Homo-oligomer: A and B are copies of this chain.
Amino acid sequence: MSDSSYVHGYSTTESQRLSDQANTLSHLLHHDSVFRPAGLVLEAGCGTGAQTVIVAPQNPQCHFVSIDVAEDSLVKAEESIKKKQIQNVRFQVADVFDLPFNDESFDHIFICFLLEHLQERTGALASLKRVLKKGGTITVIEGDHGSAYYYPRSSAAQATIQCLIDVQAAMGGDSLIGRQLYPLLITAGFGDISVSPRMVYADASRPEMVDGFTRKTFIAMVEGVREQAINSGLITEADWNKGITDLYRSAGADGTFCYTFFKAVGKKL
């Protein structure tokens, strides 16, 4: 990940946002993140461990090596698993493009919200494939910011979402990535690929989704690029404020909000 950049910083607020997101979405994304028992799993780009603390405990017979380039994130990840008394994870500072592991070391690769931040997405997948055993599988989970739509519709709100997409793109990432998982895995040479969309839908009859996802995950993520978007001239402060106000209407009594994550599983043939 040496040549990649992150939209997500790791302030306390951001850490809380990632944790809220993980709780709301854990069942949707991870109820089937179950690997062959006794397997060695490489989690690449674990960050502060928001997914690690969900996936490691539900695979108690596997051992996890969870890597990230950011040492300060791993300190927080380590604290998280100690607090939850999770025993089957070892954290290690490592670069996904220069993995300090032998060829065919792992039974499974697990990556979640990593590719969206990378410029060399196929390169990252090829690097990960090297350390995967033949017959081993890879699980990739990504969102797609182009999958967000809502009611009431608003071009002002859409402009703020476009800022999020543009800021991430300017850093070399691609937040419209969920829809691309199939061709990315094909290009990287994986086989037996199966992609399943995981759609979030929130209306007032599902207050936990409205609060946990629409407000505290998606809108919070958009609000996270406010300074960058305004300072870089992507949008005026007035337009930004109007857009955010409109976005919050989708979390109101007559509002609805939709977003889709994509989960892909492929095999090294």
Residues of chain A touching chain B, judged by Cβ–Cβ distance below 8 Å, are: 144, 146-147, 149-151, 153, 176, 179-180, 182-183, 186-187, 193-197, 199, 201, 203-205, 254-256, 258, 260
Q: Which residues of B contact A201 (CB under 8 A)?
A: 195-197
Q: Which residues of B contact A204 (CB under 8 A)?
A: 182
Q: With A and B bound together, what is the CA distance between A204 and B187 in angstroms? A: 13
Q: With A and B bound together, what is the CA distance between A193 and B253 in angstroms? A: 13
Given contacts A197-B201, A199-B199, 10 further A-B contacts (CB under 8 A): A144-B149, A151-B180, A151-B183, A179-B258, A182-B254, A183-B203, A183-B254, A183-B256, A186-B254, A195-B201
The residue among A179, A205, A256 with the most chain B CB atoms within 10 A of its own CB is A179
Query: Which one of B146, B147, B180, B205 contacts A182 once the chains associate, using CB atoms below 8 Å?
Result: B205
Chain A to chain B contacts (Cβ below 8 Å), 25 pairs: A146-B149, A147-B149, A147-B258, A150-B179, A151-B179, A151-B180, A151-B183, A153-B176, A179-B256, A179-B258, A182-B204, A182-B205, A182-B256, A183-B254, A183-B255, A183-B256, A186-B254, A187-B254, A194-B205, A195-B201, A195-B203, A197-B201, A197-B258, A199-B260, A258-B260
Nearest Cβ on chain B to A249's Cβ, whole angstroms: 11
Q: With A and B bound together, what is the CA distance between A187 and B199 in angstroms? A: 25
Q: Which residues of B contact A196 (CB under 8 A)?
A: 201
Q: With A and B bound together, what is the CA distance between A195 and B151 in angstroms? A: 14
In the complex formed, the residue of B with least CB distance to A180 is: B151
Q: With A and B bound together, what is the CA distance between A144 and B257 in angstroms? A: 13
**Oligomer: number of copies:** 2
Nearest Cβ on chain B to A116's Cβ, whole angstroms: 14
In the complex formed, the residue of B with least CB distance to A187 is: B254
Q: Which residues of B contact A176 (CB under 8 A)?
A: 153
In the complex formed, the residue of B with least CB distance to A193 is: B205
- Given A147-B258, A258-B147, are A195 and B199 neighbors across the interface (CB < 8 Å)? no
Q: Which residues of B contact A197 (CB under 8 A)?
A: 199, 201, 258
Q: With A and B bound together, what is the CA distance between A199 and B260 in angstroms? A: 9
In the complex formed, the residue of B with least CB distance to A257 is: B179
Q: Which residues of B contact A144 (CB under 8 A)?
A: 149
Nearest Cβ on chain B to A228's Cβ, whole angstroms: 23
Q: Which residues of B contact A180 (CB under 8 A)?
A: 151, 256
In the complex formed, the residue of B with least CB distance to A150 is: B179
Nearest Cβ on chain B to A39's Cβ, whole angstroms: 24
Q: With A and B bound together, what is the CA distance between A256 and B176 in angstroms? A: 12
